[in-house]
Structure 1
Amino acid sequence: SHTRRHDGIGLGLSLVRACLSLLRGECRITPGTTGGTVVELLIPDLVESPAPALEDAVEPLRRAGALPA
């Protein structure tokens, strides 16, 4: 018999934390004031504008009509 109310393999939070680590983000988990759990995902704004190299790579695609202007 199962003692847990929900089944799963327990990878969800591990995957979230791994993705947040790549983004230099943070995961905060706290108890809710009326029960349950509050999960906050904090992701910093790392890029203010596209990198020049990316713009150089994208421009030929825009000229060819493969991307919107």
Structure 2
Amino acid sequence: MTFSIRTHDSWGVVPVGNFQSIEEARQVFADLCQDPWYKADGTVKGVELVQASPLGEAQRLDWFSFR
């Protein structure tokens, strides 16, 4: 099972990274939520943590909004 982090901005959904462990994905997610650049940029609307399924669909595990 893999976990991914994606940002949502004015251009759409942007993949940030894929992780094998939920712990590593949650740490990166928490770091991005506190990143000053993302907070100040103004075009980044949010960041999400998703779990990939074997069928290619993703289930959202967490969401953070910068607005």
Q: TM-score range by the shorter chain?
A: under 0.3
Which structure would you say has the larger Rg?
1
Higher normalized helix content (fraction of residues) = 1
TM-score w.r.t. the length of structure 1 is: 0.26
TM-score w.r.t. the length of structure 2 is: 0.26
